[in-house]
Amino acid sequence: MAAARWESISWQRFLAFAAASGAFLLLVFRSEPGFIPVLDHANLLFHEAGHPIVGIFSRRLEPYGGTIGQLVFPVVLMVACWRKGQPMGVAAMAIWLFENLLNIARYVADARTMELPLVGGGDHDWNTILFRWNALDFDTTVARGFRMVAWAGMGVSFLWVAWRVACDFGRKKPVQATTDGWELGR
């Protein structure tokens, strides 16, 4: 999408976004080994919905459906915001997407020990997936990779909005003449 089609972001909107993002990231950081109730229950719902949807097409791929479902919803909303030229919406959905990777990392790290309580019938997706790939011994390594991508992605999403603000700030506003002869916008 061309830069001219993006909504501009005022400093006030950016500061509100920064405060909300900072509070959210602090909450995520403090609950890293835990669970953010409202958001993570929604993520769990999308995860569980992904299994039967993918299962319709392939029984073998059904274990991947939970992770796919968890990631698809923020991506769809991110694309919708992108198409509308809403940079803060894109960044917020990207932050949600990457926060999901923290949950996925938690689940991957549990693949061998299988201590997390399971909702959908007792099968541990990532135990099944990593076992199939003969990579069960690498569960914590894979989880660490997901965590690194998650935190980096959330940071880059925020920085992208800051960059958009800088781009908007660098553009001169068009000059408008008023009825009393004064010019506005410089």
pLDDT at 185 over 80: no
d(CA 112, CA 151): 24
DSSP-assigned letters across all residues of 11-68: HHHHHHHHHHHHHHHHHHHHTTTS--HHHHHHHHHHHHHHHHHHHHH-TTTHHHHHHH
pLDDT at 183 over 60: no
> pLDDT tens digits for 33-85?
667 888 989 999 999 999 999 999 999 999 999 999 999 999 999 999 999 99
Residue-averaged pLDDT of the chain: 88
| 178 membership: H or E segment, kind and range | none
> pLDDT tens digits for 78-128?
999 999 999 999 999 999 999 999 999 999 999 999 998 888 667 899 999
Lowest mean pLDDT among 8-17, 67-76, 174-183: 174-183
pLDDT band at 170 (very low <50, low <70, confident <90, very high): confident
d(CA 54, CA 47): 11
C-beta of residue 184 within 8 angstroms of C-beta of residue 178: yes
pLDDT at 5 over 90: no
